[in-house]
Amino acid sequence: SSSEILFVCVAGYIAAKYGIITSSAQKGITSLIINILMPCLLFSEVGSDIDISKLISLWPVPTFFGIFAIISALLGFFVGKFLNLSSAKTKFIMTGIMFNNVTSLPLGLLRGIENTSAMELLVKDEVDTPGESIKRGKSYILLAVLFGTLLRWSFGAFLLKKESTNDEEDPLITPSKALPPIHYVRSSSYAATTSSQPDESTQLLRSTKRTLWTETKRLLNKYIKIFRSVMNPPLYAAVISLIVGTVPPLKNVFFGHDAAFSVLSQATEYIGTITIPLTLISLGAQLKNMQCSKGNQILSTIGYIMACRFFIMPIIGVVLVLVTKSWYMQDPMLWFVLMLFASGPTAIGCINLAQLNESFEEEMAALLFYSYVAVPPLLTLIVMSMLTVIGSVNSFIG
């Protein structure tokens, strides 16, 4: 799986080297991925697989995913504070550690071990078969895709957002837009006759109503602006797919052989299949155009992120799963997948986050390149260690 990723990246690198993918073309590809391809991929994958019963029965998946995300974020946050790094660099480190590859690599690993003797360690009992175990593993992984997508395209997009040069916050009610002073009413009341007071009160009431309506509209527009700044096309698609997947009448309309809009869902699925290869080609082109000096400047940062992703987090993941395995279903495949959630390189999709915000693009490309070069030897050792631990647990239980 990692070798496939590297070969596709090399294709993008060669295309950029020979001028097939220019800088302007790369920007167009990035815009296409973020605004069309990625939303189609998310809707087709998440909407068709998710449902309420699965969310309830597989509660360990989102629980552990959230715990690992919090621990990873803290590893990035504390090193940023300890080294007195800027807020932007700290957020970059947090992004690199938090969002690891929980889709293509785990699925590739399951596909790779499906016909090996390792499957003997991942079946629940004598009745369970390797095929059924693999099927369960894929379900666990696809459920994690939903939560990973929501978290990455919301909090991840926030982390990599360019920081404003003007740090001043716009208060809810600024002095210039506050309620107008009403001293003129008081001053006129002293000079006016008693007969004129009802007219003045009516004018004051109307003025106050107009002012309150203006302030309400301004606050509403402010919150809408904040909402729109947080949202992006992939996040819209993830939220819509969650709603469609968990509401049976809607799901029956879009997914299934007899669904009314099955043509639409099949079209989005077909479009979505282009996303990952095109993202990898774009990543390879990004590496070609990257300044070598910038890549060398962050080697220590890349080293720390990779150490967290390939050493610190896998150890934490194995320990947490072993300590808590009696709290949920006794399924070695679930244990294995939960351990994988804490391991592995930064997600390829993080380059899309950087491109969306036009920040740390070259740094993210360098991080992904070095991470996936290191995947074959490091992840092999990690997986072998996990299988050994699971085998020992099975022997102890048996």
Domain-located, residue 210: no
At 166, the pLDDT band (50, 70, 90 cuts) reads: very low
Percent residues over pLDDT 90 in the chain: 19
pLDDT score, position 179: 44
Does residue 207 fall inside a structural domain? Answer: no
pLDDT of residue 296: 58
Flag the least confident range among 96-100, 138-142, 240-244, 296-300: 296-300
Residue 213 confidence class, pLDDT cut points 50, 70, 90: confident
**Mean of the pLDDT values across residues 295-323?**
90
Judge whether 134 lies within some domain: yes
Q: What is the spatial distance between Cα 207 and Cα 205, in angstroms, rounded to a whole number? A: 5
Answer yes or no: pTM beyond 0.85. Answer: no
What are the backbone angles phi and psi of residue 193, rounded to the nearest 5°? -85, 170
Residue 264: predicted pLDDT: 86
The pLDDT value recorded for residue 19 is: 87
Residues 103-114 have a mean pLDDT of 80
Q: Is residue 247 part of a domain?
A: yes
Tens of pLDDT, residues 60-72 = 988 999 999 999 9
Buried b (16+ CB within 10 A) or exposed e, 242-271: bebbbeeeebebbbeeeeeeeeebeebbeb
Cα–Cα distance measured from residue 94 to residue 73, given in angstroms and rounded to the nearest whole number: 5
- Asked if residue 163 has pLDDT above 80, the reply is no
Query: What CATH number corresponds to the domain at position 80?
Result: 1.20.1530
Examine residue 196 and state whether it is found in any structural domain, yes or no.
no
Look at residue 181 and tell me if it is in a domain. Answer: no
Instruction: Tokens for 314, please give them.
Output: 């896998």
pLDDT of residue 177: 44
The pLDDT assigned to 336 comes to 93
pLDDT at 75: 96
Q: pLDDT: is 131 or 46 the higher one?
A: 131
Mean pLDDT for 101-117 is 81
Instruction: Work out how many domains the chain is built from and give that number.
Output: 1
pLDDT at 77: 95
Residues in Cβ contact with 378 at an 8 Å cutoff, skipping those fewer than 6 apart: 310
In this predicted structure, the answer to whether residue 196 has a pLDDT above a threshold of 80 is no
Q: How confident is the model at residue 207 (pLDDT cuts 50, 70, 90)?
A: low
Q: What are phi and psi of 85, to 5 degrees?
A: -80, 160
Q: What is the pLDDT of residue 229?
A: 65
Tell me, what's the pLDDT at 209?
A: 61
Mean of per-residue pLDDT scores for the chain: 80
The tens digit of pLDDT for each residue in 10-26 reads: 888 899 888 888 878 88
Domain of residue 262, residue span: 2-163+232-397
CA-based nearest residue to 118, from 355, 364, 385, 374: 385
DSSP assignment string, 303-315? HHHHHIIIIIHHH
- Domain assignment of residue 146, yes or no: yes
Q: Residues 366, 371, 377, 378: is their CA dihedral positive or negative?
A: positive
- The pLDDT of residue 202: 63
Q: Which residues contact 243 (CB under 8 A, 6 or more apart)?
A: 250
pLDDT of residue 104 exceeding 80: no
Percent of the chain with pLDDT over 70: 83
Average pLDDT over residues 248-261: 82
At 327-363, the pLDDT tens digits run 887 888 999 999 999 998 998 888 888 888 888 888 8
Judged against a pLDDT cut of 80, whether residue 5 lies above it is answered with: no
Higher pLDDT, 156 or 256: 156
Alpha-carbon distance 254 to 318, whole Å?
39
The verdict on residue 101 lying in a domain is yes
pLDDT of 171 higher than 50 = no
